[in-house]
A = this chain, B = another copy of it.
Amino acid sequence: MTTTRLESFSDGVLAVAITLLALSITVPDPVPGQSLAGALSKHWPEYVAYATSFMTIGIIWINHHAMVRRLNAVDHVILTLNLVLLLFIGLLPFTTALMAKYLNAGHGQNLAAAIYSGSYLLMSIAFSAMNRNILFRKAHLLGVDLDERERRRILTRGVTGLGPYVLAVALAPLSAYATLAICGAVAVFYALPIASGGDISTT
């Protein structure tokens, strides 16, 4: 199978998942005597969680493209690893809604934060597993010439990227806010121009 249809299907799933995120933003029911401003501001975790997940999925999309375009063709193992990656991305609208609902709920926020950052971590692990398979097991499918050191460098960079999510999960039992802050900081960091030396393709 060529990479074209893999990319088009993955783009579709990513585009739907990223747009479904907005469904978890509450449109408060009008309640006489209660201001809309107050009702909306109570839901601020939804806006933060939306922006964080939106940028994170967006960055995964950029990195996914950089990973796949190294290939001339894909085999069954790559397709399956890609499906597993998409499976975790497909969960993000759910875990984002969970995080947003429980951050200020008075209970359950630590578990919600662990699940939220955990879904990012699983997504990143699936990404690195797919990248590892492509770089070290599928040399015959690669369309670019990468020596051992270069391939190791790419993979290491991806695995290093897991660090903040491990930390975010580890901090979840202590503070859900810290977890959310770390996930948000990761999204902002990778969106900055300084990150463009990474997996992300610059022309």
CB-based contact A22/B79 at 8 Å: no
What string of 1s and 0s marks CB contacts (under 8 Å) between A68-110 and chain B? 0100011111011001001100110110011001100111100
Q: How far is the CB of A18 from chain B (nearest CB, A)?
A: 6
- Among residues of B, the one whose C-beta sits closest to the C-beta of A194 is B76
Counting chain A residues whose Cβ lies within 8 A of the other chain, the interface size class is 35 or more
How many copies make up the complex? Answer: 4
Residues of B within 8 A of A156 (CB): none
State the CA gap A54–B16 with chains docked (Å): 14
What string of 1s and 0s marks CB contacts (under 8 Å) between A3-16 and chain B? 00101110111111
CB-based contact A86/B18 at 8 Å: yes
Residues of B within 8 A of A54 (CB): 83, 86-87, 90
CB-based contact A75/B196 at 8 Å: yes
State the CA gap A8–B5 with chains docked (Å): 8
State the CA gap A111–B141 with chains docked (Å): 46
Residues of B within 8 A of A192 (CB): 80
Binding site for B on A (CB under 8 A): 1, 5, 7-9, 11-25, 27, 29-30, 32, 35-37, 40, 50-51, 54-55, 58-59, 61-62, 65-66, 69, 73-77, 79-80, 83, 86-87, 90-91, 93-94, 97-98, 101-102, 105-108, 111-112, 115, 141, 191-193, 195-196, 200-203
* Closest A-B pairs by Cβ, 6 of them: A12-B15, A36-B108, A76-B196, A30-B105, A16-B19, A58-B83
